[in-house]
């Protein structure tokens, strides 16, 4: 695979597939949101015990969030408790670049509350 297209891109277009000619035709139906991917720069992994930090995004070789470690369990984002929230609650990590989300993490049995800035991606 060379790349992928997510729903955030596809929802802005009407896509027609011409199978016999092996062609696709894209018709724009709405403008794309240039801030659609702006979020706290962490990659999450869903496990049976909850959501865990699986990776930390970098810009210019520096991590986009401080003090967060791979393996930390994400308990809460701002006022959203992830243990009882739907998968859509992860979107609480999104926001305007520069805005701050408060993350409650569990590491080595202890809870930490850390600020994390939303990054433009």
Tell me the C-alpha distance between 83 and 49, whole Å. Answer: 9
- The CATH number of the structural domain formed by 39-119 is 2.30.42.10
- Asked if residue 36 lies in contact with residue 66, where contact means CB atoms within 8 angstroms, the answer is no
Domain boundaries, the chain: 39-119
Express each pLDDT in 77-95 by its tens digit: 999 898 877 777 777 778 8
Question: What's this model's pTM, rounded to 2 decimal places?
Answer: 0.74
- Give the contacts of 14 (CB within 8 A, at least 6 positions apart): 26, 27, 29
pLDDT at res. 2: 57
Of residues 11 and 13, more confidence is placed in 13
Rounded distance, CA 99 to CA 116, Å? 8
Q: Over the stretch 34-92, which tens digit does the pLDDT of each residue have?
A: 777 888 999 999 999 999 999 999 999 999 999 999 999 999 999 989 887 777 777 77
């Amino acid at each position: 695979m060379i790349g992928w297209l997510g729903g955030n891109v596809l929802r802005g277009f009407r896509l027609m597939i011409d199978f016999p000619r092996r062609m696709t035709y894209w018709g724009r139906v709405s403008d794309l949101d240039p801030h659609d991917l702006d979020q706290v720069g962490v990659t999450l992994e869903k496990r049976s015990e909850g959501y865990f930090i699986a990776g930390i995004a970098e810009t210019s070789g520096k991590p986009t969030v401080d003090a967060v470690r791979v393996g930390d369990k994400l308990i809460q984002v701002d006022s959203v408790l992830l243990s009882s929230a739907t998968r859509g609650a992860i979107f609480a990590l999104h926001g305007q670049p520069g805005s701050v989300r408060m993350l409650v993490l569990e590491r080595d049995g202890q809870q930490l509350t850390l600020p994390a800035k939303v990054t433009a991606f």
